[in-house]
Chain A
C-alpha cells in the first residue's frame, strides 16, 4: 500500500529518519556485527591478543555437554511456560467470556501482573517457596513434601516456571478474551439449537476458530520464555542448582559477563540470533494469514 499524496524535499526525510537510524547503527548493528566477529576469534586470558579461529568456537560449543544441556533446559522450560500459560489463560478467558456479572472486575483483577517486572515476580515466588521460611513450603511440608528448590533441580525448574507463567497469564488472557469476543454468536447459537453441549461447542467450534490466536500466543510465549525470563532466573535460581535452570540467554550472560569467555559467549549470541530470526519469521508468516482470516 502506498500513499498517492507525497511531499517533496531532497533533505527533510533524511533528517527525520536520522535519529532512529543513528541509534540503530550504534547500538544494534555495530554490536551485532561485533558479536559475529568475536564468535570467530579466540582471545587469550588477558584480552590482549586475539586470533582468528574460524568455526572453532562453534564446534567447541557443540562438543560442550553443558551447552547441549542448556538447550534441553531451554526447550523444557519454554514448553512448560508456553503450554501451562496458554492452558490456564484459555480456561480463564473462556469463563470470563461466559459470565455477564462482574466481567470487568475479573478482567481488571487478572491483568495487573502484566505490570510486574519478571525479576520481581521471581522474588515474590522465591519468598513464598523459600526453603526455611516460605509459607507455601510450610503448607507443602504439612502434606509431607520436602520443598527445597536450592538443592532440588526439578523443584527449581517448577519455581521459575510458576513465576514466569504467573506473570504471563494476563497477557494471554487479554488476547484470548479478544479472540473469543470476535467469534460470531450466531455460530454458537446454531450449535446450541442443534443440541450441542457447552463443552462440545467449545471443542468443535470455539477452539478451532481461536487457533490463529493460540498459534500467535504460542510463538509469543516461546519468545517470552527464551528472552524475557532472564530476570526471573537471575533473581531466583541463577541457573542453578547444577545448571538445572540455566537457559540459553542466562548462559550467554554467565559465560560472557561472569566467566569472561568472549569468543564462546559471542558464538552463543550468534546461535541465539538465528533462533530469534526463525521465531520472528514464524510470527510474520502467521500474521499474513491472520489478515486473510
Chain B
C-alpha cells in the first residue's frame, strides 16, 4: 500500500464485489432454477429463492434424462465426459514428455524437421479442418468410440514445448552424473527427469482436464449415438425448441452437474491451475 486513501479502498472493494456478483449471478439463477418445478420457472418472473425440487430434478436427469429432448441419462454422459477429461490429459502428458525428452537429449537426423512438424500443429486447430478430420475418423471406424473422442486431441505442441522448456532448465550435471554411473537414457528419464517434472505435469493436468471436459465441437461431430454424448453435448441436445418448450429445471440441473467437476478442480487446485495457465501460454 503506497498511501492510505480510505475512499479509494472502499471503491476498490465495491468494484470487486460488483464484479464477483455479476460473475456469480448466472450460476445462482441456474442453481435456483434447478431446484424448482417447471411451472414455477414458467411464471414470470421466476422465484429467486431455491425451491424444494432439488432431489427430484437431479435424480430425474441422472437416471433418465429429459422427457421432451434427449432421453439419455446424464449419469452416462458424466462418465463419458470423465473419460475424455482423464484420457486426454494423461495421453497428452505421456506422448509430450517422451517426445520432448527425445528432442532435448538426443541428436538425430530429422530432429529439426520433427520439431517443426510438432510446431505447425499449433496452427491447425480442429475448427479449420472440420470436414476432412471427420472423414478420417469415419474411415478409421472411430465414430462413436472413446478412441475417436480422445486420440485425435492428445497431440499437442504446447505440452511438448512446455516439457522441452523445462528440460532445458534441468542442469546438465544430472545427466552427466547419471551417465558416469552407467545409467542408460531410459533409466535417467525414469529416475531423474520424471520425478523432477512432477509440478509441470500437475499444472498441465489441471489445464488439460478442463480442456477435455469442455470439448464441444469435436464430440458434436463424431458422436451420433446418445450413449456416447458428453455432458456438454447432452445439454445442447436437451434444448429442443423455443424457450417455453424446454424443461428448463432439468436442463439447469444438468448444467450444474456439468459445471461442477471442472469448477471443483479449478478451485481446489488453484495453485497448479494458475501455474499451468501462465506457463502453457509462454
Mask, B3-15, CB within 8 Å of A = 1, is: 1010011011101
Given the known interface contacts A20-B99, A116-B259, A272-B127, the answer about A27 and B155 at a Cβ–Cβ threshold of 8 Å is yes
What residues on A are CB-neighbors of B130 within 8 Å?
A: 252-253, 256-257, 265, 269
Tell me whether A120 and B235 are in contact (CB under 8 A): yes
What is the CA–CA distance of A3 and B102 in the complex, to the nearest angstrom?
12
What residues on A are CB-neighbors of B104 within 8 Å?
A: 3
Task: State whether the Cβ of A62 lies closer than 8 Å to any Cβ in chain B.
Answer: no
Given the known interface contacts A12-B106, A96-B16, A189-B2, the answer about A28 and B23 at a Cβ–Cβ threshold of 8 Å is no
Q: Is the interface of B mostly helix, strand, loop or mixed?
A: helix
Q: Per a CB cutoff under 8 Å, which of B19, B20, B133, B243 touches A130? A: B243
Tell me whether B26 and A128 are in contact (CB under 8 A): yes
In the complex, which residues 232-262 of chain A have their Cβ closer than 8 Å to any Cβ of chain B? 234-235, 249, 252-253, 256-257, 262
Tell me whether B131 and A262 are in contact (CB under 8 A): yes
Task: State whether the Cβ of B262 lies closer than 8 Å to any Cβ in chain A.
Answer: yes
Interface segment among B55-63, B72-80, B117-125: the answer is: B117-125
Task: State whether the Cβ of B87 lies closer than 8 Å to any Cβ in chain A.
Answer: no
What is the CA–CA distance of A231 and B255 in the complex, to the nearest angstrom?
14
Tell me whether A31 and B243 are in contact (CB under 8 A): no
What residues on B are CB-neighbors of A277 within 8 Å?
A: 123
Tell me whether A13 and B106 are in contact (CB under 8 A): yes
What residues on A are CB-neighbors of B12 within 8 Å?
A: 95-96, 98-99
Tell me whether A108 and B135 are in contact (CB under 8 A): no
Task: State whether the Cβ of A144 lies closer than 8 Å to any Cβ in chain B.
Answer: no
Which B-chain residue is minimally distant from A115 (CB atoms)?
B262
Task: State whether the Cβ of A119 lies closer than 8 Å to any Cβ in chain B.
Answer: yes
Task: State whether the Cβ of A61 lies closer than 8 Å to any Cβ in chain B.
Answer: no
Which B-chain residue is minimally distant from A249 (CB atoms)?
B127
In the complex, which residues 23-38 of chain A have their Cβ closer than 8 Å to any Cβ of chain B? 23-32, 34-35, 38
Most-contacted residue by chain B among A5, A12, A25 (CB, 10 A): A5
Task: State whether the Cβ of A198 lies closer than 8 Å to any Cβ in chain B.
Answer: yes
Please, how many residues of chain B have a CB less than 8 angstroms from a CB on the other chain? 107
What residues on A are CB-neighbors of B263 within 8 Å?
A: 112, 115-116
Given the known interface contacts A5-B179, A257-B221, A262-B131, the answer about A123 and B278 at a Cβ–Cβ threshold of 8 Å is no
Task: State whether the Cβ of B196 lies closer than 8 Å to any Cβ in chain A.
Answer: no
What is the CA–CA distance of A71 and B172 in the complex, to the nearest angstrom?
51
What residues on B are CB-neighbors of A9 within 8 Å?
A: 106, 185
In the complex, which residues 227-282 of chain B have their Cβ closer than 8 Å to any Cβ of chain A? 232-233, 235-236, 239, 242-244, 248, 251-252, 255, 258-259, 262-263, 265-267, 270, 273-274, 277-278, 281-282
Tell me whether A28 and B129 are in contact (CB under 8 A): yes
Which A-chain residue is minimally distant from B98 (CB atoms)?
A16
In the complex, which residues 73-124 of chain A have their Cβ closer than 8 Å to any Cβ of chain B? 88, 91-92, 95-96, 98-100, 102, 106-121, 123-124
What is the CA–CA distance of A119 and B182 in the complex, to the nearest angstrom?
53
What residues on B are CB-neighbors of A192 within 8 Å?
A: 2-3
Tell me whether B152 and A115 are in contact (CB under 8 A): no
Q: Per a CB cutoff under 8 Å, which of A5, A106, A124, A256 touches B175? A: A5
Which A-chain residue is minimally distant from B175 (CB atoms)?
A5
What residues on B are CB-neighbors of A14 within 8 Å?
A: 102, 108
Tell me whether B155 and A28 are in contact (CB under 8 A): yes
Listed A/B pairs (8) with beta-carbon separation below 8 Å: A16-B98, A24-B118, A112-B266, A121-B26, A132-B44, A133-B243, A138-B44, A174-B278
